[in-house]
Amino acid sequence: MTKIKVGIIGLGEVAQMVHLPILESLSELYEIVALCDISPKLLAKIGEKYRVEHLFLNMSDMLEQSELDAVFVLNNMEYHTECTVAALKRNVHVFVEKPMCVTPAEVHEIIQARDASSAQVMVGYMRRFAPAYLQALEEVKTLGPIIYARVRDIIGPNPFFTRQSSPIYRFNDIPVEAVQDRKERNARLMREAIGELPDDMYGAYGLLLGLNSHDISAMRELIGMPIGVRAASAWLGGRFKNAIFEYEGFNVTFETGMDQQGRFDAHIEVYGENKSILVQYDTPYIRQLPTTLQISETIGDSFDQSTVRPTYKDAYVVELEYFHEVVSKGTLPKTTPEDYLQDLIIFRMIMDAIQK
Report the CATH number that the domain containing residue 112 is assigned in CATH: 3.40.50.720
Are 284 and 223 members of one domain?
yes
**CA–CA dist 208, 340 (Å, integer):** 13
| Same domain, yes or no: 40 and 65 | yes
- The DSSP output letter for 332 is P
Q: What is the pLDDT of residue 254?
A: 98
User: How many independent structural domains does the chain possess?
Assistant: 2
Same domain, 258 and 302: yes
The beta strand positions in 207-291, using DSSP E, are 228-235, 240-247, 250-258, 264-271, 275-281
Contact 297, 274 (CB under 8 A): yes
The domain of 238 spans: 128-313+343-354
Q: Which of 64, 87, 91 is nearest to 75 (CA)?
A: 87
* Same-domain check for residues 86 and 163: no
The runs of H, that is alpha helices, within 95-195 are: 104-115, 131-139, 158-165, 176-194
- Considering the domain architecture, whether residues 162 and 302 belong to the same structural domain is answered as yes
d(CA 16, CA 32): 13
Whether residues 110 and 161 share a domain: the answer is no
Residue 156: other Cβ atoms inside 10 A: 16
Q: Where are the alpha helices (DSSP H) in the chain?
A: 13-14, 20-25, 40-49, 59-65, 80-88, 104-115, 131-139, 158-165, 176-194, 199-209, 212-223, 315-329, 337-354
- Reduced to 3 states (helix: H, G, I; strand: E, B; else coil), residue 250 is strand
Are 204 and 134 in a shared domain? yes
First to last CA, the chain: 55
One domain for residues 34 and 106: yes
Q: Please check whether residues 132 and 121 belong to one and the same domain.
A: no
* Model pLDDT, residue 163: 83
Pairwise CA distance, residues 199 & 205, whole Å: 10
What pLDDT score does 1 carry? 67
> In angstroms, rounded to a whole number, what is the distance separating the alpha carbons of residues 160 and 143?
37
Q: Are residues 214 and 297 in the same domain?
A: yes
Let me know if 299 is exposed, middle or buried by CB neighbors in 10 A (0-12, 13-18, 19+). Answer: exposed
**288 in helix, strand or coil?**
coil
The amino acid at residue 298 is T
Regarding whether 120 and 220 lie in a shared domain, the answer is: no
* Low-confidence residues of the chain: pLDDT under 50: none
d(CA 307, CA 294): 4
259 and 347 in a single domain? The answer is: yes
134: number of Cβ within 10 Å: 17
Question: Which CATH number does the domain housing residue 222 bear?
Answer: 3.30.360.10
pTM for the full predicted model: 0.96
Q: What is the C-alpha separation between 264 and 105, in angstroms, rounded?
A: 33
Distance (Å, whole) CA 198 – CA 183: 16
Q: Convert 172-199 to b/e letters by CB count within 10 Å (16 or more is b).
A: eebeeeeeeebeebbeebbeebbeebee
